Amino acid sequence: MKISIYPTNDDMSRAAADLVAVYLSVKPKSLIVFPSGESPTGMLKYLIQYAKAGKADFSQCTIIGLDEWVGMDERDYGSCKHYLHTNFFDHLDFDPERVVMFDAKAEDLTAECERINHFISSHGGLDIMIVGIGMNGHLGLNEPGTPFDLYAHLSELAPITVEVGQKYFKQETALTQGITLGLKHFSEAKWAVLIASGEKKAGIIAESLQSEMSTAVPASILQTIKNARILLDEGAASQLKHSS
């Protein structure tokens, strides 16, 4: 587990984009997981700049979506698909065949999880899996209590996730379940990457990285992942002991 701390969110975002660009230069056919939400927005802006400037080549890689609210797709404002299309895919000439995301409107969501699991395993596993962190320590929609050994699965959303999730929608929206890559995917990725910014995340970052590991705090799995890379701005790192 390597922790890197940057002065600002912008610096952290650029470092995350650099990490992706460097990996792509070594392995162009990578499988990369992008999250949605506030945390990756700056990183995606830099990656768009890099792609347009010829500093990052996405022509051979495959992007996999981290999660989705059950019952939503890219036409739903506030959905994870809508976010990634709006903030990334729509800005580049991206081959739709190289975008693999959950169909959260599928009739059989268990089969949908199996489809994503099979795609990942049949393509040699994930190269980079980037996640943010929820206020309750969730990664993706792996809520507190989620076993560390699960692959893609359905998730019953915690009350705080439902509450915080409202900020992504124009009006109050019923959220009950999510479909998400699992913590086992995260632990098996060649690079497991956490990005976080702001003092509001400082408490859960410190608890996840420096308190006893427990499924009650899903992000505490990072303590077991040797190849984990944790990118924080100074606000998010402000409660870490002996941070440097």
Contact between 186 and 225 under an 8 Å Cβ cutoff? The reply is yes
Region for residue 16 given its phi and psi (left: phi exceeds 0; alpha: psi -120 to 50; beta: otherwise): alpha
User: DSSP strand E in 106-239: where?
Assistant: 128-131, 153-156, 177-180, 191-196, 228-233
Which helix (H) or strand (E) is 112 found in, with range?
A: helix 109-122
Task: Quote the tokens at residue 126.
Answer: 């994930």
Do residues 35 and 67 lie in contact, with contact meaning Cβ atoms separated by under 8 Å? Answer: yes
Catalytic residue list: 67, 136, 138, 143
Label residue 109 left, alpha or beta by phi (over 0 means left) and psi (-120 to 50 means alpha): alpha
Angle at which helix 9-26 crosses helix 41-52, to 10 degrees, equals 50
Q: How many CB atoms lie within 10 A of CB 158?
A: 18
- What token pair was written down for 86? 């709006």
- The count of other CB atoms within 10 Å of the CB of residue 65 is 24
For the record, the structure tokens of 127 come out as 């190269």
Cα–Cα distance, 117 to 182 (Å, whole number): 10
User: Which amino acid does the sequence have at 112?
Assistant: E
CA 138, CA 181: separation in Å to the nearest integer? 12
